[in-house]
Amino acid sequence: MTPFDRIYQDSIEKILKTGIEETNHRTGHKTKALPGLTFSTDISADGFPLLTLRKIPVGMFIAEQMWFIMGSRKPEDFLRDHTKIWDIFTNPGDVVTVAYGYRWRKHFGRDQLGKLIELLQKDPSSRHGVIVTWDPASDGLGGVARKNVPCPYTFTVNIIGGKLHLHNIIRSNDMMLGMPADVAGFALLQCMLAQKLNVKPGIYTHSISNAHIYDIHYAGAQEIIDRKHNHKPINLHLPENSFDRAENRDPKLYQEIVDDLEAQYHPGEPISGLKIVL
């Protein structure tokens, strides 16, 4: 198994065996959950963290991350050509109110992602590289009812030892469906930022406040624990100027990254019955 496969399998086993089972009031489903689950993987040493124990739709997280970098909040803008994953969260104007990229680039009155790059170009040693997605004026705390509030709500970027490291903080992660896609998507962002700043990608860290498995996914989780899959580490070969090309909505970039990963990707069979719980 790849290093990330082992991390994922160990996390699922820990939650299934030692997680606290409670009924979630909002969804009506039982979950087994653990607080404060954190893991790290070194992209340069361990390879790109794409789960191979079961098939993950490669094009989905690539299109999603490009859409985030664009700063858009309308799925019709590039995203829907490749995935409809955000369609269920649109309002009557076909806008995703909490679109992560829009919040990174426009919502708070400054281009956080652009400022991050400027900061680290001027001062690679800076510890001020913090990007915030969560809007305390409206998100959570029993405030405005929404179809969705950000799960990955902030991340920090540091250049240490000539490598770019990204620490992603997640308030809530569906471990069977959401977490593998989140890891791959933000690791892709990390690699694009590293390339933009002319350094290598380093350690990706994923910290989850509430890491849970839904009751309808218990059987699938056990199947993940039981699986053995011999897969070589995956090494992402980013096309040149990937960040700038993503900003400029280059459709060729999407296909180039898809082709690179799919040429190396030989996952296990899909697991049946993994339905999204909203």
Concatenating the DSSP letter of every residue in 91-112 gives: -TTS--TT-HHHIIIIITSS-H
Residue 238's CATH number: 3.30.572.10
Task: For residues 177-206, give the mean pLDDT.
Answer: 98
273 within some domain: no
Question: What's the pLDDT at 144?
Answer: 67
- pLDDT tier at 148 (50, 70, 90 boundaries)? confident
137 within some domain: yes
In Å, how far from its chain's centre is CA 172?
Answer: 12
Q: How many domains does the chain have?
A: 1
For 126-138, how does the pLDDT look when each residue is reduced to its tens digit (9 = 90+)?
999 999 999 999 9
- pLDDT tier at 157 (50, 70, 90 boundaries)? very high
10 within some domain: yes
Q: Which two tokens stand for residue 212?
A: 């849970």
Query: Checking DSSP bridges between strand 152-160 and strand 130-132, what pairing results, if any?
Result: antiparallel
- pLDDT tier at 150 (50, 70, 90 boundaries)? very high
Task: For residues 184-189, give the mean pLDDT.
Answer: 98
Task: For residues 206-226, give the mean pLDDT.
Answer: 97
For 67-83, how does the pLDDT look when each residue is reduced to its tens digit (9 = 90+)?
999 999 999 999 999 99
Q: Which residues are catalytic, by number?
A: 151
Assessment of whether the complete model's pTM goes beyond 0.85: yes
Question: What's the pLDDT at 241?
Answer: 98
Task: For residues 248-252, give the mean pLDDT.
Answer: 94
Asked if pLDDT for residue 49 goes beyond 70, the answer is yes
146 within some domain: yes
For 6-43, how does the pLDDT look when each residue is reduced to its tens digit (9 = 90+)?
999 999 999 999 999 999 998 999 999 999 999 999 99
Domain of residue 211, residue span: 3-264
113-152 CB burial, b ≥16 within 10 A, e <16:
beebbeebeeebeeeebebbbbbeeebeeeeeeeeebbbb
